[in-house]
Amino acid sequence: MPTAEKLRRRALVRFLLSAALVLLCLFLLQRLVTPKYAGDIVEGALISEYYAEAKDHDLIFIGDCEVYENFSPKVLWEEYGVNSFIRGSAQQLIWQSYYLLEETLHYETPRAVVFNVLALQYNEPQREAYNRMTLDGMRWSGSKLKSILASMTEEESLVEYLFPLLRYHTRWSELTPEDAEYLFKDYRPSHNGFLMRVDVRPAENVPEGRILADYSFGDRAWSYLEKMRLLCEEKGVQLILVKAPSLYPYWYPQWEEQVEDYAAEHGLLYINYLDLIDETGLDFSTDTYDAGLHLNLSGAEKISRHLGQLLREDLGFPDRRGEEPLSSRWQEKLAAYEAERESQLAALGKI
């Protein structure tokens, strides 16, 4: 006959085992239903790629599609010996960029940070789908929590970020083989954050911007740019502002003026690649894959060359191509880059 103490102990063991089983099941199910972004939309897989990297970059790009589609870290390394990484995701809002930068500077201190200024146009949270692509990939930290709180739209809930299972519970009916394949590993679609596209869809015209009631960037957007500047200043990192050469969304002269004034006021380097089309050799009949919204591989490599030259010659970035084990790591990356280029060209029937 078991004693009361034994019965209590047995009940406790049973409870603990049951709780462990429940937690394990929920953990596995959460992993299963959380999107892997390994299908048509791969942009959601970009942010998490950084954590597998050795954290000794010279340059970090921060921004939206105008950085991860338009700059090639491979060119910066291969031709100028600059080790760079892009922390960008689709429609990455400026406060998300700020918190990603805060997180990145917690891991490492690069020589410079390049921020693409198009995100200044957004002063409010936009869409949950884009928030998720930026935020789900971040590791849990104070920066992630602050980024979530700054980014949530009215329909979103912090609880669903803490427990993504609650957000993605309906995905059980649309699971694909990729969900099982990437259950315990991350899908890695980029090359140091650069998303390669080799196809071409020429730009046929330069779209006109619609008239806006107010061309001033919002206070919130400005405040995060200022925070970014101060953070870089505190960490001794040079902040470089860029505007990628996308034909649309339209970059208004009034916006340009505000950014130029801000850069001048704080002594920041600002490069607008829309003004450097001839200098970089960009040709919108061959260097874009979606009629001017984003550059393709050819276009991205052209402006990366321009930037690399500036980093080396004007800003004195050292050539690290002889450094080990960095150089060996890059050998693997260059091979993967070339393989994907060839694979995409083959898929298009061009080789």
Query: Of the ranges 21-29, 220-228, 272-280, 295-303, which one interacts with another protein (CB under 8 A)?
Result: 21-29
Binding region for another protein (CB under 8 A) out of 53-61, 152-160, 183-191, 213-221? 152-160
Is 3 near another protein (CB under 8 A)?
no
Window contacting another protein (CB under 8 A); options: 159-167, 199-207, 254-262, 298-306: 159-167
Pairwise CA distance, residues 237 & 256, whole Å = 24
128 binds another protein (CB under 8 A): yes
DSSP 112-160: EEEEEGGGGG--S---HHHHHHHHTTSPSSHHHHHHHHHH--TT--HHH
Residue 239 phi, psi (nearest 5): -95, 125
Q: Cβ of residue 172: shortest distance to another protein, in angstroms?
A: 5
152 touching another protein, by CB under 8 A: no
Binding of another protein at residue 156 (CB under 8 A)? yes
Quick check: 310 and 279 in contact, CB under 8 A?
A: no
User: Could you give the CA distance from residue 221 to residue 259 in angstroms, rounded to a whole number?
Assistant: 12
d(Cα 349, Cα 268) in Å, to the nearest integer?
A: 44
- Which range touches another protein (CB under 8 A), out of 65-73, 100-108, 153-161, 189-197? 153-161
Pick from 40, 155, 219, 278: which binds another protein (CB under 8 A)? 155
Q: Which of 16, 20, 23, 25 binds another protein (CB under 8 A)?
A: 25
Q: Which is nearer to another protein, 106 or 169 (CB)?
A: 169
Of 342, 301, 332, nearest to 80 (Cα)? 301
Alpha carbons 194 and 116: distance in angstroms, whole number: 14
Nearer to another protein, 173 or 205 (CB): 173
Q: Which stretch binds another protein (CB under 8 A): 69-77, 155-163, 315-323, 341-349?
A: 155-163
Sorted by sequence, the CB contacts under 8 Å of residue 42 that are 6+ apart come out as 187, 189, 195
Structure tokens at 236: 């001794």
Residues that bind another protein (rule: CB under 8 A) add up to a total of 19
- The answer to whether the CB of 17 falls within 8 A of the CB of 156 is no
When asked if residue 328 is in the footprint of another protein (CB under 8 A), the reply is no
Min CB(26)–another protein separation in Å: 8
Q: Does 22 bind another protein (CB under 8 A)?
A: yes
C-alpha 342/C-alpha 323 separation (Å) is 28
**Does the protein bind another protein through residue 170 (CB under 8 A)?**
yes
Q: Output the smallest distance, CB 124 to another protein, in A.
A: 18
The answer to whether the beta carbons of residues 288 and 296 sit under 8 Å apart is: yes
Nearest Cα residue to 332 out of 192, 212, 236 = 192
The piece of 71-79, 112-120, 158-166, 211-219 that touches another protein (CB under 8 A) is 158-166
| Residue listed under structure tokens 């085992």 | 17
Phi, psi of 85 (to 5 degrees): -145, 145
Q: Is 199 in the site for another protein (CB under 8 A)?
A: no
The residue within the footprint of another protein, chosen from 58, 102, 136, 160 (CB under 8 A), is 160
Residues lying near another protein in the complex (CB under 8 A) are found at 11, 14, 18, 22, 25, 29, 128, 155-157, 159-160, 165-167, 169-170, 172-173
